[in-house]
Amino acid sequence: MATVRLIGQHIAYSASPAMHAAAFAMLGLDHHYELADVDASELPAAADAMRDVDVLGANVTVPHKAAVMDLLDDIDSVAADAGAVNTIVSRECRLVGSNTDVPAIADEIRRLRPAPQNVVVLGAGGAARAVQVALKSIRAPHVTLVSPSGRDGAASWLDLPRLLAAADLLVNATPVGTNRDESPVEPSLLHQGLALIDLVYRPSPTRLVHEARACGLQARAGAGALLGQGWRSLEAWLGITVGDEVKRAMADALSAELGAGADV
């Protein structure tokens, strides 16, 4: 039996164990996906533990997607561009980081806005950077990051009304709304012509997605992006191409875990 871990902090809510357990079962593998809730001081030891021969690798989530990069032997070009790693493969005691969030998010964007022109991204962490690279890959011409601090090139939250008025796509890459009935955006700022992706997936749909749909907007919560990055991570750990049957098993497990309204 081999092990894969999810490294993050306050991650008991994660639906990834259910999704990957379904994939391993479909593939006939006696593998295990486990949560590793670690703080910043424990991150080096958690990374070093992945060099064990029985560990295939890991997913990485908040708040460690950027910090873990300094602990790896190599990172691929997508992760380097994003400045964030969400997938680590362990091979012969070497740790290689990649970012499967980027193509998964790009797929979700294409489902709602194949050619977005003016995009507002909420957040300034690893998820927001993955969104930036995904938007770059589909050649979105105007992308603005918005964060509470307004530092590091991001616009301030105070600019949000003006920015959203001209936007055709909004992506929430903050954790606001996770396991809570709250939204990072006032409903009055949502307008016709705006599509919305909320990377938060629990609850699914989120309050932000509910409010957007109530306004008649196209909107998706984060379960689809979770699924997309999940099967790509599985391919990296196992060195295989994941077929439609496995993807469907993962999607069904997510739907069962999150409820019938999940945007898988």
Say which CATH class 3-99+225-258 falls into.
alpha beta
Distance CA 242, CA 69 (A): 26
Tell me the residue type at 30.
D
How many helices, marked H, and strands, marked E, lie in the chain?
9, 12
Structural domain boundaries of the chain?
3-99+225-258, 102-221
pTM of the model: 0.95
Q: What angle do CA 2, 40, 87 make, to 5 degrees?
A: 40
Which pLDDT does position 122 carry in this prediction? 97
> Do 3-99+225-258 and 102-221 come out as alike in CATH topology?
yes
Could you tell me which residues are beta bridge partners of residue 26? none
List of the chain residues with pLDDT < 70: none
Which pLDDT does position 127 carry in this prediction? 92
Query: Measuring CA to CA, how many Å separate 122 from each of 109, 188, 206?
Result: 15, 17, 15
247 flagged as catalytic? no
Options 5, 31, 64, 65, the catalytic residue: 65
Which pLDDT does position 205 carry in this prediction? 92
Which pLDDT does position 263 carry in this prediction? 86
Which pLDDT does position 162 carry in this prediction? 97
Does the 102-221 domain belong in CATH 3.40.50.720?
yes
